[in-house]
Structure 1
Amino acid sequence: MTSPLFGQMMDVPLLASSLLSHAARHFGDTEIVSRRIEGDIHRYTWRDCEKRAKQLSQALIGLGVQPGERIGTLAWNGYRHLECYFGVTGMGAVCHTINPRLFPDQVAFIVNHADDEYVAFDMTFATLVDIIAPQCPNVKGWIALGDETCISTHLADMATPALSYETLIGRCDGDYPWPVLDERSASFLCYTSGTTGNPKGALYTHRSTVLHAFAASLPDAMGCSARDAILPVVPMFHVNAWGIPHAAPLVGAKLVLPGNCLDGKALYELMEAEGVTFSAGVPTVWLGLLNYMKQAGVRFNTLKRTVIGGSACPPAMLRSFEDEYGVEVIHAWGMTEMSPLGTLAKLTWRQQQLTPDEQRHLREKQGHVMFGVDMKVVGDDGQELPWDGTSFGDLHVRGPWVIDRYFRKDDSPLIDGWFPTGDVATIDADGFMHITDRSKDVIKSGGEWISSIDLENVMMSHPQVAEAACIACSHPKWTERPLVVVVLRPGATVTREELLAFYDGKVAKWWKPDDVVFADELPHTATGKLQKLRLRELYREHVLPTVDEKVV
């Protein structure tokens, strides 16, 4: 057999540290602005960030941390957390971002399952650390992200001994050349939010991290550039803030980090003060921002576009951003298992020739895949379904930043080389994907499927509704029928009957929910998604008024 002819290009590995080195060398004076836990605004540059990240690498080596070992973080979006991203991975260890919004027992499980050597934490999580530390005997030390003065002031009542981050890195000079690692070595470890069972770990590689950053920055993805000031509202403990901490240095953008102040007023004021042009977050956060702006009568002066993902963006929210405030909404979809980005709703040249209503209808879907991701929809028999926009089934994906298996799991979830996402979707002839439901949330009525997401989107467009969730309720004749749980806006007086009538002409008659119930609030997961499992538990005994009626 003839040997293949290899090209003669440099064999330079794709490493997370190379992203920071690029920003420090070519965009060294570009700012990173952080609202600190201490309450003030901190400013420095990409050049400063690299030096301190190298100091952290040196400090970890001094503590005996070996390549491949895990360093956990319990932290908000801030410059010290960013330094952990690069200082930990740069020396060959694995940065394990932990979601502090999970239940303490789940956090302890994650720390133990990852076998974290050290855990760095923001001081707001001191109580959480005290709760979980006795359950995590293998952790060698807890590192408070602050200086000695701040720690003595804010952690005086903390029972768990804590090292000072600033003291640790202050002993090092930062004269540290990034080692040349195998690009297939592990870089980051992120766990699923654990809505059912124990959370599962997705272990990324340096190669997948850099490739994901490249793809995320493309014009038809997030479109990041050096002309942007980017504020990730999505937390850095939520799938690496959707890759923004890697995309920003790749393009040399200004980075604005909001810390733990995520209320509408604080976000708006930081965006305006720092000239933010691009942001990203889940719908629940944007709901708070839009409510604040409406009540305060203020507008954006610099924000041009935002990515909304984590759960489906309600069409009413998309219209509010664009029609009232002139901000482009990029609807996105992805998963922890996908690093996380998979699709974004950016229109092609041909689609831009459609009417405004037709364009908006498309952008309410989840959109095209980025290069590097492939997808298909399969039926119950495992066969691929046609791309006709109506055939819906289980969504499968594959690509270089999609997991092959979960961390410390021998068995692979892949089916014929494809990852089953658990989403139910359609794909149209143009390749636009639309999530119709999670497989566990779809409503099966009389053998036919009803999309809970579509019913939620209709209800969310009602002017007196703040938030809505649709779940399946047991029915003796149809097996399941839709129940909508609604949170009203302050002062709203709309009735159940009026809300049900709101569906007339908007969905098929047999899709119309059988009942509406009112709630003060809806339960959300630690990543801001509607917790439908909890809702199904709360309304398990709810009796629909149609139980003794004929449903047409």
Structure 2
Amino acid sequence: MLGNMMFQPLLISSMIEHAGRYHADSLVISKNTDLSITETTWGQIHDNSKRFAQVLQSFGFVLGDRVATIAWNNHRHLESWYAISGSGLVCHTINPRLFPEQLVFIINDAADKVLLFDKTFLPLIKAVKPLLKSVEHYICLDAPDDAVREAIPDVLFYDELIAGHSAQFTWPVIDELSASSLCYTSGTTGNPKGVLYSHRSTVLHSYAISMPDSLNISARDVMMPVVPMFHVNAWGTPYAAAMAGCTLVLPGPGLDGASLVGLIDRYKVSVALGVPTIWQGLINAAQQSGSQLTSLSRNVVGGSACPPAMLKAFKDQFNCETIHAWGMTETSPLGSANQFKAKHMGLSDEEKLQVRLSQGRPPFGVDLRITDEENGTHEVSRDGETTGNLQIKGHWIIKNYFAKENSALTSDGWFDTGDIATLNEDGYLKISDRSKDLIKSGGEWISSVYLENLAMGHPKIAMAAVIAAEHEKWDERPILIAIKKPDVDLNESEIFDFYADKVAKWQIPDKVIFVESIPLSGTGKMLKKDLREQFGKVLLST
């Protein structure tokens, strides 16, 4: 017997419809690429998203076609998100920090039909345009500009396109399991892989991050996602913001500490989200300017582990609670968030700090387990001490990668994250290590295997290993451990030059260390753990 209740599909269009109906006058503040400020509202975001949906409809696309965006966090980008997904297309956000060859691969692999971009990225778009096989329309999200027209003669301008349409548009009713957005993860070896989210998974994820035990988002908040919208959909916050109806502050390209302090103090931001390197810049700028960040009640840290000193600085100097969170592209991203339970409230400040250092516990909707490193499906004790493989399953967790038929899951249906971690009896997660082939620099993944493979292509290198070295600003940076071929002259600068036209500048190792030998296991694998123990602190100042 079925229940006698209405059924309505969980659709992204329903969230912007809710915001437009019940929070129409709540502000959406946006810093543009020219650093000017636009103050709009959820009502206007709603109307313009419907206007752009009609533009997309006029192009004659079919359900599931992909529309790519390369843009900062701003109001036009936000409007386009709801227009794309709401009209049954797939919003494909692209990280502009990737090397051009990776961008070309991603756009062609996704078979994107449209490419939306901010003027900031015009040189990049012009460079890759001849290599893009499927893109039919290029749309600039900035105001009409002759320089853009000169560089891309067939360019269209967002403002001109939507000006010809009214806000009278009815969102199509589609299957809630339909694809809504696409993100590629660079946290793998080889070419990036696509993660295709559904309307259902996105709406459920938005509920989850809004809950009090997650990010605790409400209509009373002024939220500023500093994490880019091209980084796992800004951790889902633009969706949750519409669902809750909170004021949204979009910082655009100005992610330096002084710019963020200015926005927080001017617009009374109550919650902000970003990676540790962003927050270090914010703390430094606030200290220099004398700002007390009085409105900021909490900040969310993800992407990398938050240093204890940063947690203490936010609490002691600015009376701001720091919420540690963990997730990845394959998990939408929320897998856990660090909020206290009732039994923690009586703890001392130092004891609370120790709780805050973990990555938190999973919200309803996902489950975590730690498995034996040798047996990937055997769960180990939840004692906060036994380490193993971190695995996850739930309503917004990947099943298989975009355009790949093979399952991404274990034999019993869990996704193995590649992290090494512990869980305690309350479900608090503590990441102790990560897959040794990955380096996380300032919240961005770098594949050590890819850098090693490039190094091995150098005619004077016999063997190479790339490891993560601790870094005061970026948390981790790659360094190259290399063995020269016999009787050759080779220096660090020559290797840097070798990398220069093959990877993005920020992925090039910070240091090259030449050695006589690299430790190997009995099966011939490089013992990177030994290398990290020997060289992992070489970038730290003494």
Structure 1's 311 and 546: CA in aligned 2 closer, same or farther, altered over 3 A?
A: closer
**CA shift at 1:37, angstroms?**
1.3
Say if 2:119 is the partner of 1:145. Answer: no
Say if 2:11 is the partner of 1:18. Answer: no
How far apart, CA to CA, are the structure 2 residues paired with 1:418 and 1:485?
31
Deviation by residue 1:153-196 (Cα, 9 ceiling, x = unmatched): x4255145311111111111121011111100000101102563
**CA shift at 1:439, angstroms?**
2.3
SS of 1:292's partner is: helix
**Paired position in structure 2 for 1:327:** 320
**CA shift at 1:362, angstroms?**
1.1
**Paired position in structure 1 for 2:230:** 237
Structure 1's 194 and 139: CA in aligned 2 closer, same or farther, altered over 3 A?
A: farther
- Identify which of 91, 96, 100 aligns with 2:92: 96
Deviation by residue 1:216-252 (Cα, 9 ceiling, x = unmatched): 0000100000000001000000001001100101111
**Paired position in structure 2 for 1:270:** 263
Say if 2:109 is the partner of 1:116. Answer: no
How far apart, CA to CA, are the structure 1 residues paired with 2:210 and 2:317?
27
**Paired position in structure 1 for 2:393:** 398
SS of 2:25's partner is: coil
**Paired position in structure 1 for 2:487:** none
Unmatched tracts of structure 1, length 5 or more = 443-451, 457-468, 472-479, 490-522, 548-552
- Identify which of 287, 299, 303 aligns with 1:306: 299
**Paired position in structure 1 for 2:379:** 384
SS of 1:302's partner is: coil
**CA shift at 1:484, angstroms?**
5.2
How far apart, CA to CA, are the structure 2 residues paired with 1:206 and 1:36?
28
**CA shift at 1:297, angstroms?**
2.7
Say if 2:183 is the partner of 1:190. Answer: yes
Q: Is the 1:262–1:285 contact (alpha carbons within 8 Å) kept by the matching residues of 2?
A: yes
Structure 1's 422 and 161: CA in aligned 2 closer, same or farther, altered over 3 A?
A: same
**CA shift at 1:316, angstroms?**
1.2
Number of residue equivalences: 470
Q: Is the 2:398–2:408 contact (alpha carbons within 8 Å) kept by the matching residues of 1?
A: no
How far apart, CA to CA, are the structure 2 residues paired with 1:138 and 1:156?
20
Unmatched tracts of structure 2, length 5 or more = 449-464, 475-498, 518-530, 535-542
Deviation by residue 1:250-293 (Cα, 9 ceiling, x = unmatched): 11100010110111111110111111110000111111111222
SS of 1:224's partner is: coil
**Paired position in structure 2 for 1:409:** 404
How far apart, CA to CA, are the structure 2 residues paired with 1:488 and 1:20?
37
Q: Is the 1:394–1:439 contact (alpha carbons within 8 Å) kept by the matching residues of 2?
A: no
TM-score when normalising by structure 2? 0.82
Q: Is the 1:145–1:165 contact (alpha carbons within 8 Å) kept by the matching residues of 2?
A: yes
**CA shift at 1:441, angstroms?**
6.1
Say if 2:418 is the partner of 1:422. Answer: yes
**Paired position in structure 1 for 2:496:** none
**Paired position in structure 2 for 1:347:** 340
Q: Is the 1:130–1:160 contact (alpha carbons within 8 Å) kept by the matching residues of 2?
A: no
**CA shift at 1:488, angstroms?**
8.5
Say if 2:217 is the partner of 1:224. Answer: yes
**Paired position in structure 2 for 1:43:** 39
How far apart, CA to CA, are the structure 1 residues paired with 2:184 and 2:70?
13
TM-score when normalising by structure 1? 0.80
Q: What RMSD, in angstroms, separates the aligned Cα atoms of the two structures?
A: 2.8
**Paired position in structure 1 for 2:2:** 6
**Paired position in structure 1 for 2:159:** 166
How far apart, CA to CA, are the structure 1 residues paired with 2:384 and 2:20?
45
How far apart, CA to CA, are the structure 1 residues paired with 2:532 and 2:279?
35
Structure 1's 419 and 487: CA in aligned 2 closer, same or farther, altered over 3 A?
A: closer
How far apart, CA to CA, are the structure 2 residues paired with 1:486 and 1:349?
36
- Identify which of 249, 253, 256 aligns with 2:242: 249
**CA shift at 1:540, angstroms?**
6.3
**CA shift at 1:56, angstroms?**
0.5
How far apart, CA to CA, are the structure 1 residues paired with 2:32 and 2:81?
17
